[in-house]
Amino acid sequence: MSDMMPSGPATPFAENRAPTDWTSRAMTRRIRRRYAAERRFRFFGLAAVILSACFLAFLLITMVSNGLGGFMRHEVRVPIDFARAELNVTPEQLRGRGADLALAGAGLEELTGNAARAAFGPNGADALATSAWTEVRKALKDDPSLVGRSAAISLPVNADIESAIKGSGSPEAEALLSRITAADALDSGFDGGFLTEADATDSTAVGIWGAVKGSLFTMLVTLVIAFPIGVLSAVYLEEYAPRNRWTDLIEVSINNLAAVPSIIFGLLGLAVFLSVFHLPRSASLVGGLTLALMIMPVIVIASRNAIKAVPPSIRDAALGVGASRVQVVFHHVLPLALPGILTGTIIGMARALGETAPLLMIGMRAFIATPPGGVTDPATVLPVQIFLWSDQVGRGFVERTSAAIIVLLAFLLAMNALAIYLRNRFETRW
């Protein structure tokens, strides 16, 4: 740097310097230092990548190890002697459609409780979940010949025993649990109800089907609204729009909408769809509309890139044989751009599926125990269900929450994998 200072007579600086002695101690030390710095820098880079990947791995492993238990339930095998209980039904009655009717007044609830008391002592019935007798009914319907004999049936335990199994139950539950384990009657099995039931107050009886169905309805509304609008406005901006201030304004709004925080869309939905248009509160319809506005810019941007990638020669050829501009777009450009458009749409839908904050704003945080039947019914979605359960750490919901997270992540990974597959399979380079 000092060479640039105008000091002394102007001489070519090469003459002022002795040739560099690359083998001198100072020089080799300097080079060693530089190489060490290089190695350090490279190591930091590698460490950053590996640590970031470790964060992800740690997150996933925590969720999976917490959540696998949420798909399981503990069961006790209770021996029930149907022959002595005199159920007043015949195997023939249980084969037809009248099975439920025949069993309705048969006192299965009492029978189940009595059997548990007989097996595990006076408070034995306290071990069972309140819905345990429905399992007995199901067993009878599956195998009507049970009526005349006795059998051991696996019944779900309630939340008290669940927590005792994890070592944090009340003394009574611990004592009961030790009697059950002494009888070697404790089992664990896959909990099908978790996938087919809706929300409930008892952590042993909850399921995610209500939330999954709500998510499906919401996604349907989102797709039906965001996809056509997004694709059509991308077509307009790429193929028709004149370059003027209006189209600049449209472009700027789209780019900014893509970066507006999602909770702001929730405020919009609350102020416009609920307060002005009086659409039903906490319905998938409003959730879908809100999310559609949120992901529309994503679809527009992806579609524009896909349309831009279609080479002009195809448009020119079509125009050359007499096609109109609408025909060029709808017969040639859009079909060729479709894979790119679909990839962008799937990524946008994946974002909408994982979104929670805007849906909290429009009231989709209610306790909903029946799956919605349509888009205007009160509904909840999977991420909101996770949020609601996450508040109830003390009541045995930790495993259930993590299990629901596993289901949500599985959906998202599947959607992203589909997007990547589409991109690789149909990507064309002209």
User: What's the Cα-to-Cα distance from 263 to each of 136, 266, 356, 360, rounded to whole Å?
Assistant: 47, 5, 9, 9
Could you write out the DSSP letters of every residue in 345-364?
Answer: HHHHHHHHHT--HHHHHTTT
Q: Which of 137, 400 has the CB closer to other proteins?
A: 400
Q: Are 321 and 286 in contact (CB under 8 A)?
A: no
Closer residue to other proteins in complex, CB, 177/350: 350
Q: Which residues contact 97 (CB under 8 A, 6 or more apart)?
A: none
d(CA 151, CA 166): 28
Q: Closer to other proteins by CB, 29 or 325: give it.
A: 325
Q: In what order do the strands lie in the sheet with 150-156?
A: 150-156, 72-81, 186-190
CB of residue 384 to other proteins, shortest distance in Å: 8
Q: In angstroms, how far apart are the furthest CA atoms of the chain?
A: 121
- Tell me the closest approach of the beta carbon of residue 72 to other proteins, in angstroms: 20
Of the pair 156, 287, the CB lying nearest other proteins is at 287
Q: Which residues contact 257 (CB under 8 A, 6 or more apart)?
A: 293, 296, 297
Q: Where are the alpha helices (DSSP H) in 105-208?
A: 108-120, 132-142, 159-165, 171-182, 193-196
The amino acid sitting at 306 is A
Which is nearest to 207 in space by CA: 187, 226, 190, 223? 190
Nearest-approach distance from CB 299 to other proteins, in angstroms: 11
Measure the CA–CA gap between 181 and 190, rounded to whole angstroms. Answer: 19
CB of 41 to other proteins, least distance (A): 4
Shortest distance in whole angstroms from residue 284 CB to other proteins: 16
Specify the residue, 128 or 211, whose C-beta has the smaller distance to other proteins.
211
Residues ≥6 apart with Cβ < 8 Å to 142: none
Q: Which of 172, 75, 405 is nearest to 397 (CA)?
A: 405
Instruction: Identify the DSSP state of 246.
Output: H
- Give whichever of 116 and 384 is closer to other proteins, judged by the CB atom: 384
Residue 386 Cβ vs other proteins, minimum distance, rounded to whole Å: 5
- In the complex with other proteins, which residue's Cβ is closer, 205 or 298? 298
Please, how many CA atoms are within 13 Å of residue 103, restricted to the half-sphere of its CB? Answer: 26
Q: Which residues, at least 6 apart from 32, have a Cβ–Cβ distance to it below 8 Å?
A: none
220 or 393: CB nearest other proteins: 393
Task: Judge whether 364 and 384 are in contact, CB under 8 Å.
Answer: yes
Minimum distance from residue 239 beta carbon to other proteins (Å)? 8
Nearest CA to 201 out of 389, 341, 13 is that of 389
- Minimum separation from the CB atom of position 197 to other proteins (A): 21
Given the complex with other proteins, which of 92 and 248 has the nearer CB atom?
A: 248
Q: Is 255 left (phi over 0), alpha (psi -120 to 50) or beta?
A: alpha
Q: Which is nearer to other proteins, 183 or 357 (CB)?
A: 357
Work out how close the CB of 366 gets to other proteins at its nearest, in angstroms, rounded to a whole number. Answer: 11
As measured in angstroms, the least distance from the Cβ of 220 to other proteins is 15
